[in-house]
Structure 1
């Protein structure tokens, strides 16, 4: 099969290797450009726990002065892997979605335990910090990166894509879905996807691309990409 992956290369290089190892053709179209945002390091000085809902939040965090034994909540396995790579030891990981992550926080951290810092990008799919505040927690949000839509695509890549449209496309976020829809419209590819299976992380993400005709739409969590191949 021909598979299109749309995350930054460092976030999907392992998956590209694995899919190629299984004999699939893999194309790579990064939809977003990730940039660091300057932030106030003092927000982390008195916190008793940290929440990460993306690996990028860890990538752009200055971690050298943070206690690596602090209780660290991660949304999924990719985020956990990144947290481990920078030295965090006390990690509690969810099953890839914010709803499960919130439940783990409620079960493993009491409001009286102290302040939580939620490290994230400018755009988030769920207002986890406000939800926890409503439940009596003290939560500060620290924004340390932003995402911009990739607007520069290689013409040669686009022409090759038109000739060999992927059987599967993986879309990982609401923002990525918006970027992919813009790409499709800008390149006049609206009618090319009727034999393509769209894999989206959550209904909110898939809703952006519902105006395009797909063979099927599947919802998935990070880490389930290979499993989905066997559902087609």
Structure 2
């Protein structure tokens, strides 16, 4: 069966490496990134900022490429983003597993402000505006944008075949692009990072749409591995017994 990875290539390869060895042995990865990350601007003027907010690993990676200072504390969404910020040299803590949870967490913590949200052009959730309205002054700066990409020929071929295709989808924007592009012939099983990611996928004729229990990479690995087992049972593979 195929594992169709729609994240940027490096992130996709890291995700595949997280899968258990038995699962890796029965899947063939197909890499077809649907978004291309492009930096916006050449520097970030933090001014009187007292802390940074990151709501994605892409934001961390973009900021790390256009900023040299690492002296400000960071408040992050999710464990993966927190780990990414730490690896880039920031003192980072997870403030919540979603944008809404981060807002609630920061309002409880009340860190010294103003804060600066470094985000993508198409980010969802008005983090800076909401925090400011609720008394925690927060500005925002777009540090990257995401250009939509078509499916690769390899992905189109897999989706048009007879072998099951499992596709983990990690963001609402990727989900919308996937739903717009895909007309599956192959049995399609989808793992969605959250309910918001799953919503655009409803229009597809998928055999299964499994929503991760938490919006993080470990939960997505679990969701994908359960879909692999489901596909093996349907196909009468070694897991069927």
TM range (shorter): 0.7 to 0.9
What secondary structure is seen at the aligned counterpart in 1 of 2:179?
helix
Runs of 4+ in structure 1 displaced over 4 angstroms? none
Question: Aligned to 2:19, what secondary structure does the other structure show?
Answer: helix
1:197 alignment partner in structure 2: 189
Contact 1:3 1:24 in 2 (8 A): no
1:100-115 aligned within 5 A: 100-110=101-111, 113-115=112-114
- Tell me the equivalent position of 1:214: 206
CA RMSD of aligned residues (A): 2.2
Q: Structure 1: 5+ residue runs without aligned partners?
A: none
Deviation, 1:208, is 1.4
TM-score normalized by structure 2? 0.81
The alpha carbon displacement at 1:20 in A equals: 6.7
Aligned to 1:83: 85
Distance verdict in 2 for CA 1:39–1:107, change over 3 Å: farther
Cα deviation, 1:88-131, whole Å, max 9, x if unaligned, reads 12x21145321222222122224xx2200000000112111121
Q: Which protein has the bigger helix share? A: 2
TM-score (norm 1): 0.84
2:175 alignment partner in structure 1: 177
The aligned counterpart of 1:37 is: 40
Gaps of 5+ in 2: 231-241
Q: How many residues align?
A: 219
Show the counterpart of 1:96: 97
- C-alpha displacement at 1:57, in angstroms? 1.0
Cross-structure match for 1:63: 67
